Amino acid sequence: MNNQKKILLFLDNLRVGGIQRLALDEAYCLSSRGYEVEIILLEKVRELDDMREIDADFFNKHRIKVTTVTGSNYQKIKGIALILKRSSATKVISHSSKGIALLRISSFLIFREIEILGYIHQLITLSDNIQRLKRIVFFSLASELRASSKQFVLELEMLFEKRQYLKLILRKKIKFDRMGVFVERIIAQDNQSPINVANQKTSLIFMSRVAIWKGFGRYLSIARELRGEFNYIAITSRFHNDVFEVEQACSEIGVQLMYGTNVARANRGYRSIHLYPADYGNKINFPQNLGLNVLESMALGIPSLISHEELWSWPELEKSKLIWMTDWSVPDVKAKIDEIVKMPNSAFLEEAKALEHVFSIEEHIERIIEFLE
């Protein structure tokens, strides 16, 4: 029996992104296990840039309440205090560093002891000095602190070695809590119909925000070099800089832009390969190049080409047919694609089934339930 049937998940927003994807998958999985889930957003909703649009009917089938608390920090604190007061919850989950601080202050206002499980979802060294210090202060206010990637823990430990005073602020032990994807959502949304036409082109898919460090420019360069050999699909958010330039560049190369959808819902053709050319730069010692977009692809039996990393968070995937690392030179990318194309789709689907327990969110959910109980 669950001691706390109502779960409050705090999140900055539901814009298209990895943290938002994770939070919604948590909500779906917890809801499927009989929990009443309420997501509290700390920023205004942006139309046409919302994960609920991407999930479409799948979101509508789940009884997940979404509440928005906006305004000044004072107004947010009052709003959160009201939510806590009407809820019987004594334990909450925050995927927002600022949300941890607002929650802590709000709990004082209602004179109720609240345990806050806070999550770290970013390499700390990607923030500037002021943002970094603020986040560390906010994290220190959590009752328990976990990181969704081993790289985030390693990066923090390295920072603390360089700047010992930060250890005095954040004294909590940070646990590594590996995430995953809600496989049921991906399979339910899968729009793929088996097509056994040998001469159909392979689709090279990019699915992430249009950003330099996400590698969209590199993806376009590869598409430009390889041109007519493949189909090109870019699944991204409508909101990005230089919209006209991006759409024009894609049109010239023959890249099909898709908005408001995901890889499962897209018509991918006979065979697909996911390209994720993430590049965090030379200043990052522990890059995470295997994101939730890679895990979603795995669930569908789609192999991914990713930038080199040590797989600190995913050692089980070291020899997987679904993960291929590349230096992103065109000859190396083409050689890897040629190797993949020689393999039957059935081999990747079998691999996906064998590794489902690895990339599924279920074990992460078990750890959340353990915290709640």
pLDDT above 90 for 156: yes
Non-local (6+) Cβ contacts of 223 within 8 A are 204, 230, 232, 253, 254, 255
DSSP of 297-317, one letter per residue?
HHHTT--EEEE----SS-GGG
- Banded pLDDT at 66 (limits 50, 70, 90): very high
Residue 187, number of CB atoms within 10 A of its CB: 11
Token pair listed for 292: 């939730």
- Residue 209's pLDDT is 84
What pLDDT sits at residue 237?
Answer: 82
pLDDT of residue 33: 94
Strand intervals (E) in the chain: 6-11, 36-41, 64-68, 91-94, 115-120, 144-147, 174-176, 202-207, 231-236, 255-259, 271-276, 304-307, 323-326
Ranges of CATH 3.40.50.2000 domains, the chain: 6-177, 192-358
Residue 6, Cβ density class (10 Å: 0-12 exposed, 13-18 middle, ≥19 buried): middle
**Structure confidence by residue, pLDDT tens digits, 258-276:** 988 999 998 888 899 999 9
**Nearest residue to 138 via CA among 98, 103, 174, 78:** 98
The Cα 289–Cα 80 span in angstroms is: 35
What CATH number should be reported for the domain whose range is 192-358?
Answer: 3.40.50.2000
pLDDT at 239: 67
Mean pLDDT, all residues of the chain: 92
> Using 50, 70 and 90 to split pLDDT, how confident is the model at 200?
confident
- Lowest mean pLDDT segment, chosen from 242-251, 254-263, 298-307, 360-369: 242-251
Please tell me the number of Cα atoms within 13 Å of 362 on its side-chain side.
11
Q: Which of 371, 92, 314, 42 is nearest to 181 (CA)?
A: 314
Amino acid letter, residue 90: T
Residues ≥6 apart with Cβ < 8 Å to 285: 125, 154, 155, 158
DSSP H or E segment with residue 136: helix 129-140
Contact (Cβ atoms closer than 8 angstroms) between residue 154 and residue 176: no
CATH architecture of 6-177: 3-Layer(aba) Sandwich (3.40)
Q: How confident is the model at residue 47 (pLDDT cuts 50, 70, 90)?
A: confident
- The pTM for the full model equals 0.93
Q: How does residue 29 score in pLDDT terms, banded at 50, 70 and 90?
A: very high
**284-340 pLDDT per residue, tens:** 889 999 999 999 999 999 999 999 999 999 999 999 999 999 999 999 999 999 999
β-sheet with 304-307: strand ranges across: 255-259, 231-236, 202-207, 271-276, 304-307, 323-326
Rounded CA separation 345/236 (Å): 25
